[in-house]
Amino acid sequence: MSDGARPAIQRLPDGTVKQIGPLTGTRVWTVPGRANRPIAAPRDEILPLGRGEHRRLCAFCEDRHLETTPEKARLVGDDFTLLRHVPAAELDHTVAEFRRFGNLFEIVSAEYWRENHGFRQPSSLFEWAQEYLSTAEGRAHIEALADIRANSSGIQHPSLEEAALDLLGGSHDVIVARRHVVDGAHSDDQLASAGTLTPDEHAAYTAFTVRSLAEIQQAQPNAAYVTVFQNWLRPAGASFEHLHKQLVAIDEHGPQVDHELRLLSADRLLYQHEIADLAVEEQLIVAATDGAVAFAGVGHRYPALEVFSTSTANLPQDHSDGGVRAVSDLVHALHAATGVHVPTNEEWHYRPPGAPWPMPWRVVLKWRISTPAGFEGGTKIYVNTIDPWELRRRTVETLLELRAAGRLAPGIRIGDECTPDDARLRYADTGSE
């Protein structure tokens, strides 16, 4: 929350914009003359694609399925049918539009839960591991992955069965889209980002992530929170230039969630008062659907667009299908407006299960277009090259162009088409969606 009499956002006479993060207290300046710098990350080299090369550009590509851990689930076909536990020998029998599997190099490992919490895998996981190892293809797959892990960590599993349990039963999952580059691409810079998906594809991607989030929470009872994020391009922390989300179970909320819960203890309508009402007052509403609203965020280290669900539900999996779709359509639109070559972080925020106060589901999209350096480290004042008003102007302008080109989901209101009622958050209301 902004401190004392200092407003959350103000423009000084010389044009400098100063911001204070309403939920974080982060101090941010935007200095005149820096907003027109290019925001897309330059590529060192653009390479032409040979025949079939688009299918094997990285370990997440569809011709390299055995370089990732065994699949927990995939979506196939135009109707995105769910298939679970596809055997190694059958990975190429269907085309996976989206795949879910454990991260080979986990942030929080299966060993962490076993050694620190005494967690033991359920019998269903043992059965899947035995089934996977029962074929020559599955056994060879587990052996190869176990060797990679052992070589990178210096720790060898006592047995192949134990290696399989850890590879199949971890709580750090990856959800990967089929395409590395867009269909028909001729060079490796024609990347397939979240914004190049169709609205229906993005909705399936989002719903698949919501389902996976709920399943991880259920499978790992020692987890206090499951963080969901998407790093796009290397400057934003991505290992591969291939569209994917990550879900990581952790045994604490993290200091930011704890801080917001403390603020909520004094003001249950914190997000309405500090975010939504501020966006209305400062004309920072970017777009809205019947179920979600997007703002240009205030007080972020990087230009940030925030999508809030306007549902009464708090956890993503408690939303109706329409509620999830409403959020997805806005997030997709903002990715499309951001562009393929802008490094971004997508962060999901929601009320942890068991938390005492209501919190809305919100998705924050950050443009990683600058690198904090000595000035920021010494002052804890961050220089953000694009202020929220300019971010809103740019994004609205591009969204209108995308809508005219038929690139967005129907029913999205943009810019001045939105009203203050679109910014009415209902997360603290009682009753169902």
Query: What is the Cβ-side half-sphere exposure of residue 259, based on CA atoms within 13 angstroms?
Result: 9
* Same domain flag for 305 and 416: yes
For residue 420, give Cα distances in angstroms to 149, 272, 280, 374.
Answer: 52, 11, 6, 40
Q: Which of these, 39, 131, 43, 146, lies nearest to 89 by C-alpha position? A: 131
Kindly report the length of the chain.
Answer: 433
Number of folded domains in the chain?
A: 2
173, 246 Cβ separation under 8 angstroms: yes
* Same domain flag for 263 and 408: yes
Range of the domain at 143: 60-94+105-173
Q: Which of these, 251, 22, 248, lies nearest to 117 by C-alpha position? A: 251
Longest dimension (CA), the chain: 72
Give me the pLDDT at residue 224, please: 96
User: What residue type is assigned to position 182 of the chain?
Assistant: V
What secondary structure does DSSP assign to 17-57, as a single string? Answer: EEEE-TTT--EEEE-TT-TTS--SPPPS---B--TTGGGSS
Given a cut of 50, the residues of the chain with pLDDT beneath it are 1-2, 431-433
Report the phi/psi class of residue 369: left, alpha or beta, with left for phi > 0 and alpha for psi in -120 to 50: alpha
CATH number assigned to the domain comprising residue 397: 3.30.428.10
Q: Is residue 363 part of a domain?
A: yes
Q: Is residue 411 part of a domain?
A: yes
Give me the pLDDT at residue 432, please: 43
Q: Which of these, 330, 265, 320, 257, lies nearest to 292 by C-alpha position? A: 330
What secondary structure does DSSP assign to 353-410, as a single string? Answer: TT-SS----EEEEEE------HHHHHHSEEE-SS-HHHHHHHHHHHHHHHHHTT-S-T
User: Exposed, middle or buried by CB within 10 Å (0-12, 13-18, 19+), for 5?
Assistant: exposed
Give me the pLDDT at residue 354, please: 87
* Same domain flag for 384 and 294: yes
What confidence tens digit (pLDDT) does each residue in 174-225 have?
999 999 999 999 999 999 999 999 999 999 999 999 999 999 999 999 999 9
* Same domain flag for 151 and 269: no
* Same domain flag for 373 and 311: yes
Query: What is the Cβ-side half-sphere exposure of residue 301, based on CA atoms within 13 angstroms?
Result: 15
Q: Is residue 143 part of a domain?
A: yes
Tell me the β-bridge partners of 173. Answer: 102, 247
* Same domain flag for 263 and 378: yes
Q: Which residue in this structure is represented by tokens 């277009």?
A: 369
Q: Which of these, 396, 384, 390, lies nearest to 294 by C-alpha position? A: 396
Give me the pLDDT at residue 17, please: 97
Q: Is residue 146 part of a domain?
A: yes
Give me the pLDDT at residue 34, please: 61
* Same domain flag for 295 and 391: yes
286, 334 Cβ separation under 8 angstroms: yes
* Same domain flag for 258 and 401: yes
The H or E element containing residue 249 is strand 244-250
In whole angstroms, what is the distance from residue 42 CA to residue 129 CA?
A: 44
Q: How many helices (H) and strands (E) does the chain have?
A: 11, 16
Q: Is residue 225 part of a domain?
A: no
Give me the pLDDT at residue 132, please: 98
* φ and ψ at residue 327, rounded to 5 degrees: -65, -45
Give me the pLDDT at residue 372, please: 81
Identify the domain boundary among 120, 141, 173: 173
* Same domain flag for 397 and 261: yes
* Same domain flag for 146 and 287: no
The H or E element containing residue 246 is strand 244-250
In whole angstroms, what is the distance from residue 223 CA to residue 213 CA?
A: 12
* Same domain flag for 378 and 276: yes
Identify the domain boundary among 173, 205, 228: 173
Contacts by residues 104-108 (CB-CB < 8 Å, ≥ 24 positions apart): 104/68, 104/69, 104/145, 104/148, 104/149, 104/167, 105/149, 105/152, 106/170, 106/171, 106/172, 106/248, 107/172, 107/248, 108/171, 108/172, 108/248, 108/249, 108/250, 108/251
* Same domain flag for 89 and 31: no
